[in-house]
Amino acid sequence: MDSPSSATPPVAPAPRARTSLPDGRRFIPLVPGLLMLVVALVGAGRPVLSWDEVTSAEVASRSVPQILDLIPNLDAVFGPYYLFLHFWTAIAGTSEVALRLPSILAMAGAVALAAELGRRLFTPATGLVAGLLLCLVPNTSRYAAEARPYAFACLFAALALLLLVRAVQKGGRLPWIWYGVSVLFLGLAHLIALTTLAAHAAYLAVNGRRHLRRWALTAGVAVLPVLPFAYLGATQEDTQLHWVKPITLARIRDMPGDITGSPEVAWLLIGLAVLAVWRPGRRLLPIVVYAVVPLGAVAVVSALVSPMWVARYLLVVLAPLALLAAVSLLGGRDERPRYTIARVVAVLLLIGFAAVPGERAVRRPTAKNGPDYRTIAQIIGSDTRPGDIVVYPARNRAIRAGTGYYLRRQPAAPADVLVEVPSAQTGWLIATEYQDAVSRVAGAPRIWLATADRRDDPLTARTDLRPYITAGYHRVGFWQAKSATVALYERN
């Protein structure tokens, strides 16, 4: 028998090797992000460009000095986006999908970042459900496929809050620098989106008051480059927002449906979000502020200063609304998982069913604001003959640009003989026409006239040309499309 000293010592179990594979839960936000990308690409080129998208396409085609000449006069708040789109279209082209692709990618990123916010602040399941809810909202698809900066505002609003959470958790100088960069791009994307900074203050109030001074300094420095655009935008208020109607109780009531693109989807999400108040308040406070403050700030400014109660300016509230709805849906921790899953699936199906009409509506050929420029161009281009000319209402910014954009795809296009100085060279969005319009059209065998509304007598849009055309021409063609009228006059 061996002595205790000579016995073989017991072999300790080998330590378990650490796997280098990342935690799969970190990739959960990619699921709704990729789904949003697919959903947004479906039918992205079908709707005709809106009048605002026409402006984006026209300004992006200008040179950089010409874009910089426009900013002091008009659309200063969109100046950074126009500059970005100028370089983008030089690479990708100017088709509808090419113009809208940056916004499509931005909205897909915004959904993924909102899901990551849910994962970081709550649970991975919360992030996943919030992202899926956002994919169902019709207006995430509509403004993903919109050549304007609103999807970028959604992207940077979610990114800025996410980077703030990371800066607080990790500490150090670099995370705060990245946070400041995100706030800068948030302001450049859309000034109203800066109202979401209130959610950042709320997050620090409950998670890290010692960082408040650093946050205020970082955010303040980041906003400084945005101030010139804000100042110019304020001076351009009469031309920039003259079309916005005053805020009323009826418009406040309609705003949820306008923001989501479906009243049914809006009130289902709001109902779920309200139920979230039974969850722990400290964790919800930043998200509640994220959802409420932009609406409240714009409402107050619209009532007391200048109307700007416009749904697309407030798309940034969709992400926090979806997060609150997801928190409510997932219930308490003591609930059996199968009940939670069944409830989530049922609600997603219900909201998806309610969203179908809105999803179809935002993909109609004439879903966007403004005339049907594509149909106008098809009517004119399909029957253009040598010597034909085209005229538009004087001082209309979009009808000339929109029809011209689509006429480039036609086999032939009539000459636009009234333009003396193209809009790109005026520093504005409107071309300068010759003073004596009659002398410019005199002798043309046929005259096309396109207006940005429906009217029985299109010549009422060009009273300066009416006597000449009435005396020497007769109308041989008359067409009406969405918010548009086209007439053709042939010389007697």
| Nearest-angstrom CA–CA distance, 458 and 183 | 48
Region 388-394: mean pLDDT is 96
Is pTM beyond 0.85? Reply is yes
Q: 68-80, pLDDT tens digit by residue? A: 999 999 999 999 9
Give me the pLDDT at residue 456, please. 95
Q: Please return the burial class of 144, using the count of CB atoms within 10 Å of its CB with bins 0-12, 13-18 and 19+.
A: buried
Strand partners, 389: 415, 447
The residue extents of the domains of the chain are: 24-361, 373-491
- On the question of pLDDT at 12 being above 60, the answer is no
| Nearest-angstrom CA–CA distance, 230 and 173 | 28
228 CA to centre of own chain: 22
pLDDT bracket for residue 334 (50, 70, 90): low
DSSP conformational letter for 261: S
Region 111-130: mean pLDDT is 96
Give me the pLDDT at residue 1, please. 40
Picking from 325, 292, 295, the residue whose alpha carbon sits closest to that of residue 309 is 295
Give me the pLDDT at residue 480, please. 97
Picking from 170, 145, 157, 179, the residue whose alpha carbon sits closest to that of residue 113 is 157
Give me the pLDDT at residue 208, please. 78
Higher pLDDT pick, 41 / 209: 41
pLDDT bracket for residue 340 (50, 70, 90): confident
Strand partners, 475: 489
| Nearest-angstrom CA–CA distance, 196 and 154 | 10
Per-residue three-class SS string for 199-223? HHHHHHHHHCHHHHHHHHHHHHHHH
| Nearest-angstrom CA–CA distance, 375 and 364 | 14
Inter-residue contact 458 to 399 (CB < 8 Å): no
| Nearest-angstrom CA–CA distance, 402 and 85 | 17
Give me the pLDDT at residue 240, please. 80
Q: What is the average pLDDT score of the chain?
A: 92
| Nearest-angstrom CA–CA distance, 200 and 287 | 9
| Nearest-angstrom CA–CA distance, 425 and 13 | 79
Q: 243-291, pLDDT tens digit by residue? A: 899 999 999 999 999 999 999 999 999 999 999 877 767 889 999 999 9
| Nearest-angstrom CA–CA distance, 419 and 440 | 10
Q: 162-215, pLDDT tens digit by residue? A: 999 999 998 889 999 999 999 999 999 999 999 999 999 999 999 878 999 999
Strand partners, 419: 433
The share of the chain scoring above pLDDT 90, in percent, equals 86
Give me the pLDDT at residue 24, please. 67
pLDDT bracket for residue 23 (50, 70, 90): low
231 CA to centre of own chain: 22
The share of the chain scoring above pLDDT 70, in percent, equals 94
DSSP conformational letter for 415: B
Helix or strand holding residue 182 (H, E): helix 173-189
Give me the pLDDT at residue 236, please. 87
Give me the pLDDT at residue 199, please. 97
Q: 437-474, pLDDT tens digit by residue? A: 999 999 999 999 999 999 999 999 999 999 999 999 99
| Nearest-angstrom CA–CA distance, 339 and 360 | 32
